[in-house]
Amino acid sequence: MAIRLGDTAPDFTAETTDGKIELHKWLGDSWGVFFSHPKDYTPVCTTELGRVAKLKEEFKKRNVKVIALSVDPLDSHKGWIGDINETQKCSVNYPIIADPDRKIANMYDMIHPNALDNLTVRTVFVIGPDKKVKLTLTYPASTGRNFDEILRVIDSLQLTAKFSVATPVDWKWGDDCVVVPAIKTEDIPAKFPKGFKEVKPYLRMTPQPNL
Ligand code: BEZ
């Protein structure tokens, strides 16, 4: 069954390139990004894994742990990491799950047989510190993901978890935010001392509260 937003991310124990990992225990109080790849030694995946390695500091400053999955075995992953480091000028610094029996891929509904036979498509799960699924993305094998967008969503999720705001179209760090409809307009000044603009009674904008 598909995993939906708000569901608890299914827990599992897996063999990874960093040793055995129990997902929930390993995540601890961190946020998580769990993403799948069709196969080892494939070109698009190689570029994605390199990019994620280079974003280490961006994930760290957001308190995010990253974990990848590919259905090939551990030895294959280890050899492939050498190629990723060489070609992408990086050092893979996060675990890659070996899932040759597709146990975890099936648990997370990462195999879409009508798109790609018996291999995982490109899924992304963002998991909150409460272990709930906050974001799901599914990309075809032929399209590499945009990890700037994944960081942008994490920024939005972390902001909206703390303040009564949502983020509008194309929002990026520093842009104005939307005051959520649950807040009455007369209560906004006390909650948002930086001010607000009422564009319509249902569309109230305020500067990003945590800057
Ligand atoms: C790739 O990662 O390059 C890839 C994997 C499976 C199908 C197409 C592309």
Q: Is 38 in the pocket of ligand 1 (CB under 6 A)?
A: yes
Amino acid 21 reads I
Q: How far apart are CA 174 and CA 188, in angstroms?
A: 19
How remote is the CA of residue 122 from the centroid of ligand 1, in Å? Answer: 10
Please check the confidence at residue 1 and state whether its pLDDT lies above 90.
Answer: no
Please check the confidence at residue 202 and state whether its pLDDT lies above 80.
Answer: yes
**Active-site residue flag, 90:** no
CATH classification of 163-206, choosing from 3.40.50.20, 3.40.640.10, 3.30.1020.10, 2.60.40.10? 3.30.1020.10
Q: Is-contact 140 44, C-beta < 8 A?
A: no
Residue of 27, 33, 45, 98 marked catalytic? 45
Phi-psi region of 128 (alpha: psi -120 to 50; beta: other; left: phi over 0): beta
Q: Do domains 13-145 and 163-206 have the same CATH topology?
A: no
Ligand 1: which of 36, 42, 118, 145 to mutate, judged by most atoms within 8 Å of the beta carbon? Answer: 42
How remote is the CA of residue 43 from the centroid of ligand 1, in Å? Answer: 6
43 Cα nearest atom in ligand 1? 3
Please check the confidence at residue 54 and state whether its pLDDT lies above 80.
Answer: yes
Q: Which CATH superfamily is domain 13-145 in?
A: Glutaredoxin (3.40.30.10)
Q: List strands edge to edge, sheet with 177-179.
A: 165-166, 177-179, 203-206, 197-200
Q: How confident is the model over 135-188, as pLDDT tens digits?
A: 999 999 999 999 999 999 999 999 999 999 999 999 999 999 999 999 999 999
Please check the confidence at residue 209 and state whether its pLDDT lies above 80.
Answer: yes
Q: Is 142 in the pocket of ligand 1 (CB under 6 A)?
A: yes
How remote is the CA of residue 46 from the centroid of ligand 1, in Å? Answer: 9
How remote is the CA of residue 8 from the centroid of ligand 1, in Å? Answer: 29
Q: Is 47 in the pocket of ligand 1 (CB under 6 A)?
A: no
Is this prediction's pTM over 0.85? yes
How remote is the CA of residue 141 from the centroid of ligand 1, in Å? Answer: 5
The pLDDT of residue 143 is 97
The pLDDT-based confidence of 118 (bands split at 50, 70, 90) is confident
Ligand 1: which of 35, 41, 45, 71 to mutate, judged by most atoms within 8 Å of the beta carbon? Answer: 45
State the average pLDDT for the chain. 97
119 Cα nearest atom in ligand 1? 6
Q: Residues 167-176, buried b or exposed e (16+ Cβ, 10 A)?
A: beeebeeeeb
Listed by start position, the domains of the chain span 13-145, 163-206
